[in-house]
Amino acid sequence: MDATVMHFRQGRHHQNNKQMILKVADTAEDAAKAVGKTATWTSPAGKEIIGKVSALHGRNGNVRVIFAESGLPGQALGQKIKIN
């Protein structure tokens, strides 16, 4: 399953670099199937960054992903990411 990196998870004064918002599906019911799976982003240099899909984000098919060791760089915004 593929997803698109939409945005960093952020508040009014803080941006959390280790948590990302991904667009997985068009409905929340389809996106709920991705919760608990792993997300893998591959950089242009070949490095893989692995995170875990934690929860739904809204009702439009978005999910939250938490990356353990390091967050995604800004160049990952708008790119495809694999969900296994």
Q: In the chain, pLDDT over 70 holds for what percent of residues? A: 100
Domain residue spans of the chain: 2-83
**Pair type for strands 80-83 and 38-42:** antiparallel
Which tokens hold the place of 37? 């799976």
DSSP per position, 26-73:
SSHHHHGGGTT-EEEEE-TTS-EEEEEEEEE-SSSSEEEEEESS----
Is the CB of residue 56 less than 8 Å from the CB of residue 32?
Answer: yes
Checking if the pLDDT of 70 tops 90, the result is no
Mark residue 45 as left, alpha or beta (left: phi above 0; alpha: psi -120 to 50; beta: remaining): alpha
What CATH architecture is 2-83? Beta Barrel (2.40)
17-56 pLDDT per residue, tens:
999 999 999 999 999 999 999 999 999 999 999 999 999 9
pLDDT for position 69: 83
Please give the model's pTM, rounded to 2 decimal places: 0.87
